Amino acid sequence: MKRLYILLTLVLACVATSVIAQTKKPAEIKKPVTQWTCREFIALDDEYKPKAVYWASAYAQGGEPEASELDIAGTEQITPGIVQDCEREPESSFWQKLKAAWDKVESGAKKMEHKL
């Protein structure tokens, strides 16, 4: 009888371990953001995508992960477009999509300046 309890305990431990191992974890990308593909960016949970864009934008603007300035409104504006572009072209460079989105924002801002 004692062996049966030990055996059941081991079986339950194995089942619990396999269930825990299969739970969804945030995507882990172990390379610099400048080398991400769009597929890697899209693999992030939706709640982390804007955070990744904020961080990458700060890095792109200041060359450091913690740049002194961050255009939050601009970042919120470009995030949906980057997600759509990356979904259309998953093998493309996330970094290039990010830079292209910021170029559009900056050129739009310059056009507004000239009109004023």
Question: Any idea what the CATH number is for the domain that residue 106 is in?
Answer: 1.10.890.10
66 inside domain? yes
38 inside domain? yes
1 inside domain? no
The owner of tokens 């792109």 is 60
Q: Tens digits of per-residue pLDDT, 40-56?
A: 999 999 999 999 998 88
Residues 6+ apart with CB under 8 A from 23: none
* Number of structural domains the chain divides into: 1
36 inside domain? yes
Q: Give the whole-angstrom CA distance, residue 100 versus residue 67.
A: 19
For residue 99, the enclosing domain spans: 26-115
Whole-prediction pTM: 0.66
Q: Are 22 and 70 contacting, i.e. CB atoms less than 8 angstroms apart?
A: no
20 inside domain? no
3 inside domain? no
Residue closest to 100 by CA, chosen among 38, 51, 21: 38
- Flag residues of the chain having pLDDT under 70: 1-27, 62-70, 108-116
